[in-house]
Every structure is written in C-alpha cells, then in structure tokens.
C-alpha cells in the first residue's frame, strides 16, 4: 500500500503541476513521522542520512520536493530551508 503523501503528492507535483487539494490529516501525520525520523537520523551538520550519499537521500529529496513544490509545510530545520531556498 502506498503512503498517503505519495498518493496525494505524486511525482506529477514535481514534474508537471501542483495539486490544488490540501494534504489530508493522514498525509500530514505521515509527513510528520517522516520528518521526525529524519531528525533522529540526521545530525545537525550532516548533508546525508548515513554518512555517504545513498538511495535513501534521493528518496528523501524527492519527498521534500513533492511537498515544497506544492507549497506544503516542511520543517524549519536549516538544512531543509537551504533546500527550499535553492534557485530553481
């Protein structure tokens, strides 16, 4: 089963157009759980989840883009905000 964020923010959000529907409560809870897990795994000064760039970092970057490019709320962590503010 697909998680609610992936269902409500498919890669079309990144490559085609944003969704006009707000995130459901289930998707908000799922994204909060994801960010809580990332906070636990990612040291403050780290750029990658497990020391070296991996597929997990790619998946996390795509998930961030799904939310950011749709205007959804993301954590205020400095590394996330640097990602949000990158020129595109």
Indicate which CATH number applies to the domain containing 79: 1.20.1050.10
pLDDT confidence of residue 84: 67
Helix, strand, coil percent values for the chain (each to nearest 5): 55, 0, 45
Question: Which H or E run includes 64?
Answer: helix 55-68
Sign of CA dihedral 84, 41, 61, 18: negative
pLDDT string in tens for the chain (88-residue length): 468 998 999 888 888 888 899 999 999 999 999 888 888 887 777 778 888 889 988 998 888 888 988 989 887 777 667 766 766 6
Q: How many domains does the chain have?
A: 1
What pLDDT is stored for residue 1 in this prediction? 44
Q: Is the dihedral of CA 8, 36, 51, 2 positive or negative?
A: negative
pLDDT for the residue 88 = 64
Retrieve residue 69's tokens: 């490019």
Q: Which domain holds residue 32?
A: 4-14+23-84
**Residue 22 to residues 4, 36, 38, 61, 66: CA-CA distances in angstroms?**
12, 21, 23, 21, 13
Rounded to two decimals, what is the model's pTM? 0.77
């Amino acid at each position: 089963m697909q998680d609610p964020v992936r269902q409500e923010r498919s890669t079309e959000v990144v490559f085609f157009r944003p969704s006009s529907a707000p995130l459901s409560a289930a998707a908000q809870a799922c994204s909060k759980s994801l960010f809580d897990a990332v906070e636990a795994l990612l040291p403050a000064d780290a750029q990658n989840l497990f020391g070296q760039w991996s597929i997990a970092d790619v998946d996390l970057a795509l998930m961030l883009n799904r939310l950011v490019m749709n205007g959804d709320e993301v954590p205020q962590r400095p590394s996330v905000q640097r990602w949000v503010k990158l020129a595109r």
